[in-house]
Amino acid sequence: MTTEQDSASVEERVRDLLHSDDVESAREVLLAMHPADQADLFDSLDDDERQTMFSLLDADGAAGLLEHMDEELRKEIAEKMPRGTLAQILDRMKNDIAVDILHEMPPAEASLTLAQMRTAAEVLPLLQHSDETAGGLMTRGYIALHKDMTAEEALAFLRATKPLAEEAYYLYVLDGQNHLQGIVNLRQLVVSEPQTRLSDVMVTDVVSVAPDTDQEEAARLLQRYRLRSLPVVDADGMLSGIITADDIIDVIQEEATEDMYRMVGVGADESALAPVGQSLRRRVPWLVVNLMTAFLSALTVSLFQGTIERVSTLAAFMPVIAGHGGNTGTQVTTLVVRGLALDEVEVKDAATIVAKEIAFGIVHGALVGALTAGLAYLLSGNYWLSIVVFAAMVGNVLVAGIMGALIPLGMRTVKIDPALASAIWLTTFTDVAGFLMLLGTGALLVSKLQ
Amino acid sequence: MTTEQDSASVEERVRDLLHSDDVESAREVLLAMHPADQADLFDSLDDDERQTMFSLLDADGAAGLLEHMDEELRKEIAEKMPRGTLAQILDRMKNDIAVDILHEMPPAEASLTLAQMRTAAEVLPLLQHSDETAGGLMTRGYIALHKDMTAEEALAFLRATKPLAEEAYYLYVLDGQNHLQGIVNLRQLVVSEPQTRLSDVMVTDVVSVAPDTDQEEAARLLQRYRLRSLPVVDADGMLSGIITADDIIDVIQEEATEDMYRMVGVGADESALAPVGQSLRRRVPWLVVNLMTAFLSALTVSLFQGTIERVSTLAAFMPVIAGHGGNTGTQVTTLVVRGLALDEVEVKDAATIVAKEIAFGIVHGALVGALTAGLAYLLSGNYWLSIVVFAAMVGNVLVAGIMGALIPLGMRTVKIDPALASAIWLTTFTDVAGFLMLLGTGALLVSKLQ
């Protein structure tokens, strides 16, 4: 049984052994570690230690380590490796990850590596699919059986070939032309009468995806039908590969991260710990777009300079009205973006959501408007100012609720990712609308406010 | 093979049949649907149609339907059901979901239902665990084998008992006292020599969790080690249950949703389509807290009313400085909150992240400060104003980067969920700091600015 504490102290031990001459002990402790823990350890080592650690692993071990390594580090390591060694390691790796590594290499380098791979014929067809599709996620690590086999023959076949497939529970039943006919699971095979034909026990109502299906859709299906793996079937009905649940879990995490980051204008590959140069390139462009939208707010306010000079208390309420609108709308945008991602909200719900947010905004606006009006009266002693502040607050939370829903739904309608910086468009709206309502009403009533 | 279009047209057909007298056809079409699709259809029906649909299903069918139903609807349906019927359905359901339903019922009602359940003895021990722990997620749907069995005996046992376990690929090897000794998978069993003892082929280095392990930690382990299911072992080493990957996928989605919603002050159970009364209760309390923090900004600005009356252009730059700080900081907070959730960032990285954000802030601040100073010169023709605006912008993006990192890291240190409305605390900071820097410098240089 493995615990958190264990793996920390094991890491310490390996690190010490890497610096000693006791190669055998180092190898032994290292091989006892799970590849995921090896990858963690590797990440924390310096270049020399990494080289020593790598030298302790055979091609199988190196394959396991690379499989669990962080994408960027993996790329770096693969680049430094002699082509022949890399080819051997890729041969022993899960197909889908081997393909990812080849994708990350310069095309010329990738083809030369592929030429030295024993599994080239298996990996080559996978290479044509883009990274974010079902084809890019699939592996050839499945077990295929012919539909005319009996349960007994199928078990004998497994015993004879001892296939080390990634997915060995679902067995894929094909006809002579590799068309997927159905799925039988290993339990059924074991408990069936020996003479039963696979075609009689297989499940034929199979949920499958095409190679160019988006990975998000594949994740949605696997999750919806609570599957362990998902077959990828081409236009001719031939089985191209399978996607396993562990890869889908990665997709789900990635997509959630992407949505969270995109909402605030950050790319999915950014990280809090990335080097500052990378972060500048990844974050600053959007921040500058942001700034330009903020300039719109500045110009809106500058239209009312005369009013602000005469009633400077209005300036104190600018951040309250604009900020509260922004927060209100961001809640709605977040709910809609996530609802769309989880398939709980659809574009056709737009009218329902807007109607609801209007009702929400009237009640909520009246409450926060009254509180803000109270503060305005305390600060100025002028009840006309309270009225202006109240009206602007109610108006802005209504705008916020409506736009908070419509911006992401509109983006989805025109097939733009609704998460894409929707918070930025929203706050531009709530800032400008808030200032227009507060300062505009203020300008109309300026004689009452002084 | 199932496609999206098919299921939409099937739904239509069932809906029509539910209104006809052709009960047999309705049942037939319904039973051909996957329970996940049945649940979707059920959700869209009115009360009468739902009753008709329910009457077409036997207890097994009803169990499948409830398993795939949305939590709130499931609760509503379970409440209306006669106790005996519900008990029969719960008997046929996945343990972990049956437990969830019992948890949602009033305790007295739950115990009376449990008393009528055939599987009461199996479900009762699961009931003691809270919803968000490994114990609350686990099921008894696993296959246990004795360590002294041979491969042949184990296969004969499976053939004789034909267990319909949820997890039938990993087989759990126990000693006579139910202590988990190891795991053997069905493939190994099939390909092993008949006389091999399970204790000789089982994997003993098993990753497991305790019943009170947080569900997030369980998800992290299953994902890290790319497992299909995770055994739950109590303090005495006895196997209490297992957690399957499909439940972990739900946890991962839930936790991502929770983080996204909490960051903007919304509870995890809120939805864009919830009734407005519920949404008001769920969203308004935090929005009011929000408003109070915005009042701090208003009070900050009101300290500088004299300055604003004399240099009203300063008011135009208030939203630019405060807003840009907020956006900058929100990016950092989002990166840190997500990094913590994915275990890529730890509290001990605080100094690294802050140092990086300072470097980031200097470069980014100089750039956006210069752009904003340019606009200030265009609007006012006064280069002193440009200097004030530049200084405030650089200062505020530095504050934003530092606080954007420290707020979630600080919350994690004191064991508060770092996602919890951290965006709200951050923007309070960037608003107040931005106004103090802009208006404070403005007040000092007021004679130059007029």
Select from B82, B107, B131 the last residue of a domain.
Answer: B131
Tell me, yes or no, if A235 comes closer than 8 A to chain B by beta carbon. Answer: no
Could you give phi then psi for residue B370, rounded to 5 degrees? -65, -40
Angle between helices A215-224 and A245-263 (to 10 degrees): 120
Domain check: are B82 and B181 in the same one?
A: no
Residue A125 has a pLDDT of 86
CATH of the domain at A396: 1.10.357.20
The H or E element spanning position A171 is strand A167-174
Q: For A357, name the nearest residue in chain B, comparing CA atoms only.
A: B276
Of the candidates B155, B299, B339, the beta carbon closest to that of A272 is on B339
Same domain, residue pair B300 and B407? yes
pLDDT at B263 exceeding the cut of 60: yes
Compute the average pLDDT of residues B127-148.
Answer: 91
Residue pair B175/B195 in contact (Cβ under 8 Å)? The answer is: no
Q: Do A260 and B359 touch (CB under 8 A)?
A: no
- Identify whether B250 is part of a domain: no
Tell whether A331 is covered by a domain.
yes
Report pLDDT digits (tens) over B204-245: 989 999 999 999 999 999 999 988 899 999 999 999 999 999
- Whether residue B2 and residue A207 make contact (CB cut-off 8 A), yes or no, is yes
pLDDT mean over A185-193: 90
Closest residue on chain B to A246 (Cα): B226
Task: Assign residue A53 the CATH number of its domain.
Answer: 1.25.60.10
Q: Tell which A residues from 114 to 153 touch B, by Cβ distance under 8 Å.
A: none
- A396 vs B4 pLDDT, higher one: A396
Dihedral angle sign, alpha carbons of residues A354, A261, A284, B407: positive
Tell me which of A68, A259, A335 to substitute to probe the interface with B (most B C-beta atoms closer than 10 Å): A335
Dump pLDDT digits (tens) for B238-261.
Answer: 999 999 999 999 999 999 999 999
Could you tell me if B10 and B29 are in contact, meaning their C-beta atoms sit under 8 angstroms apart? yes
Q: What is the pLDDT of residue B352?
A: 95
The total domain count for chain B is: 3
Q: State mean pLDDT over A219-248.
A: 92
Q: Model ipTM?
A: 0.85
Model confidence pLDDT, tens digit, residues B288-297: 998 999 999 9
CA B177, B178, B182, B185 dihedral sign is positive
pLDDT-based confidence at B31, cuts 50/70/90?
confident
Residue B268 lies in a domain: no
Q: B72 and B181 share a domain?
A: no
Specify the range with the lowest mean pLDDT, choosing from B11-15, B201-205, B355-359, B403-407.
B11-15
Of the residues B338, B349, B357, B377, the best mutation for testing chain A's interface (the one with the most A CB atoms within 10 Å of its CB) is B338
- Looking at the DSSP bridge assignments, the partners of residue A214 are A133
Q: Does A187 touch chain B (CB under 8 A)?
A: yes
Gap from B215 CA to chain A (nearest CA, Å): 15
Residue B273: which of A120, A22, A347, A239 has the closest Cα?
A347
The rounded distance, in Å, linking the Cα atoms of B444 and A94 is 66
Which of B222, B244, B266 terminates a domain? The answer is B244
Residue B252 forms contact with A (CB below 8 Å): yes
List pLDDT tens digits, range A291-350.
999 999 999 999 999 999 999 999 999 999 999 999 999 999 999 999 999 888 999 999
Tell me what percent of the residues of chain B surpass a pLDDT of 90. 58
Is pLDDT above 60 for B4?
no
Asked if A305 reaches chain B (Cβ–Cβ under 8 Å), the answer is: yes
Contact: A327, B287; criterion CB under 8 Å:
yes
Q: Do B368 and A287 touch (CB under 8 A)?
A: yes
Q: Is A297 on the interface with B (CB under 8 A)?
A: yes
Q: Which amino acid is at B165?
A: A
How many helices and strands, by DSSP H and E, does chain A display? 23, 5
**DSSP conformation letters of A303-330:** TTHHHHHH-THHHHHHHHHHHHHHHHHH
Residues A160-168, mean pLDDT to the nearest whole number: 84
What is the overall mean pLDDT for chain A? 90
Mutate to test the interface with B, among A2, A33, A254, A338 (most CBs of B within 10 A): A338
Are A438 and A392 spatial neighbours (Cβ–Cβ below 8 Å)? yes
The answer to whether B405 contacts A379, with C-beta atoms less than 8 Å apart, is no
Residues A443 and A313 in one domain: yes
Nearest CB among A273, A291, A356 relative to B276 is that of: A356
Q: Do A242 and A167 sit in the same domain of this protein?
A: yes
A426 touches chain B (CB under 8 A): no
What is the pLDDT of chain B when averaged over all its residues? 90
Work out the percent of chain A whose per-residue pLDDT is above 70: 98
Residues 342-361 of A with CB under 8 A from B: 342, 344-345, 349, 352-353, 356, 359-360
In the predicted structure, residue A250 carries a pLDDT above the cut 60: yes
**Separation CA B208–CA B233 (nearest Å):** 7
Asked if B256 lies within 8 A of A261 by C-beta distance, the reply is: no
Point out the residue among A270, A287, A323 whose CB comes nearest to the CB of B297. Answer: A323
Same domain, B101 and B202: no
* B258 belongs to a structural domain: no
Where among A131, A165, A193 does a domain terminate? Answer: A131
Q: What is the largest CA-CA distance in chain A?
A: 97
If contacts are CB pairs under 8 Å, which of residues 20-79 in chain A contact chain B? 32, 34, 36
pLDDT at residue number A7: 62
Find the CB nearest A298 among B320, B331, B332: B320
Query: CB of B291 within 8 Å of any CB in chain A?
Result: yes
Q: Which residues in chain A are closer than 8 Å to B222, comparing Cβ atoms?
A: 249
The C-alpha of B424 sits at a distance from chain A's nearest C-alpha, in angstroms, of 8
B363/A1 CB distance under 8 A: no
A159 touches chain B (CB under 8 A): yes
Task: Note whether B209 contacts A: Cβ–Cβ < 8 A.
Answer: no
When mean pLDDT is compared across A8-22, A402-416, B110-124, the lowest value belongs to A8-22
pLDDT, residue A24, reads 85
Chain A residues in contact with B257 (beta carbon < 8 A): 338, 342
DSSP letter for each residue of B181-198: EEEEEHHHHHHS-TT-BH
Pair (A34, A63) in one structural domain:
yes
pLDDT at residue number A212: 94
Predicted confidence at residue B163, as pLDDT, reads 84
Taking CA–CA distances from B428, the nearest residue in chain A reads: A323
In A68-117, alpha helices (H): 71-80, 83-91, 95-104, 107-115
Judged by CB atoms within 8 Å, which residues 260-279 of B form the interface with A?
A: 260-261, 263-266, 270-273, 275-276, 279
Please report whether residue A171 resides in a domain.
yes
Comparison of pLDDT for A422 and A419, the residue scoring more: A419
Closest residue, chain B, to A152 (C-alpha): B190
Contact by Cβ (8 Å): B232, B247: no
CB spacing of A379 vs B302 below 8 angstroms:
yes
pLDDT of residue A1: 47
Check whether residue B428 and residue B332 sit in a common domain.
Answer: yes
- Considering the domain architecture, whether residues A300 and A164 belong to the same structural domain is answered as no
Is there a single domain that holds both residue B192 and residue B121?
no
Taking residue B200's Cβ as centre, other Cβ atoms within 10 Å add up to 13
- Range(s) of the domain holding residue B44: 4-131
Across the interface, whether the CB atoms of B368 and A291 are under 8 A apart is answered: yes
CA dihedral sign, ordered B331, B333, B339, B345: positive
A205, A280, A331 member nearest B364 (Cβ) = A280
Residue B248's closest CA among B364, B96, B361, B385?
A: B96
Q: Is residue A64 included in any domain, yes or no?
A: yes
Q: Name every residue whose Cβ is closer than 8 Å to that of residue B31 and which is 6 or more positions away in sequence.
A: B61
B287 in the same domain as B413: yes
C-alpha neighbours within 13 Å on the C-beta side of residue A256? 26
Comparing A392-401, B231-240, B269-278, which segment has the lowest mean pLDDT? B269-278
Is the residue at A270 inside a domain? no
* Average of per-residue pLDDT across B267-280: 89
Q: What is the pLDDT of residues A78-95, one digit of tens each?
A: 888 888 999 999 999 888
SS3 label, residue A33: coil
Give yes or no: residues A242 and A173 share one domain. yes
CB contact under 8 A, B320 and A305: no
Closest CA of chain A from B254, distance in Å: 10
Residue B435 has pLDDT above 70, yes or no: yes
- B348 Cβ partners below 8 Å, 6+ apart? none
State the average pLDDT over residues A16-30: 84
- Range in B13-17, B139-143, B212-216 the model is least confident about: B13-17
Nearest CA in chain A to B284: A364
Question: Which of A190, A328, A345 faces B273 most closely, judged by CB atoms?
Answer: A345
Q: Do B295 and A320 touch (CB under 8 A)?
A: yes
Q: Check CB contact under 8 Å for B324 and A249.
A: no
Contact B423, B264 (CB under 8 A): yes
* A256 shares contact with chain B (CB less than 8 Å): yes
d(Cα B226, Cα A249) in Å, to the nearest integer?
9
B165-191: pLDDT as tens digits: 788 889 999 999 999 999 999 999 989
Asked whether residue B18 is assigned to any structural domain, the reply reads yes
According to the model, what pLDDT value does residue B6 have?
60
Whether the CB-CB separation of B372 and B363 falls below 8 Å is answered with no
Which is it for strands A239-244 and B142-146: parallel, antiparallel or unpaired? unpaired
Chain A within 8 Å of B179 (Cβ-Cβ)? no
Q: Is the pTM of this model over 0.80?
A: yes
| Residue A157, domain CATH | 3.10.580.10
Separation in Å, CA of A52 to nearest CA in chain B: 24
User: Which whole-number Å values give the CA distances from B267 to A44, A107, A261, B230, in the listed order?
Assistant: 37, 48, 20, 29
